[in-house]
Homo-oligomer: A and B are copies of this chain.
């Protein structure tokens, strides 16, 4: 196999999994952090920052974009990619809710 049975889960579950998956690679985490460091838009090249070839980075950017983690596009000769705040806010609130629920329960086990 290798294909996940996404039709059996809820929209929300699939959406969260998609974003998590996009962030499930150190290169893509590094890209996110670089986008954060270099103000919002990268008008330089990420390629020099990461130990990966240009096509590989381009692919990672594509994945991050299709997952909604980043947004933007090329503009002439320079990219204009930046972090999609809303996506991160969704992640933040998702885990925030889980943690809130966990604290309420305070069940002792494990």
Contacts and interface: CB of A to CB of B under 8 A. Distances in A.
Interface of A: 4-6, 8-10, 13-14, 16-18, 20-30, 32-33, 36, 39-41, 50-52, 71-72, 80-83, 85, 88-89, 91-92, 95-96, 98-99, 101-102, 105, 107-110
A99 B80 contact: no
Nearest to A87: B95
Given A82-B110, A85-B99, A4 B26 contact: yes
Given A40-B105, A98-B36, A4 B17 contact: no
11 contacts: A5-B51, A8-B26, A8-B51, A8-B52, A9-B27, A13-B30, A18-B24, A21-B24, A36-B102, A81-B110, A92-B95
A96 B102 contact: no
Contacts of A5: 26-27, 51-52
A74 B98 CA distance: 24
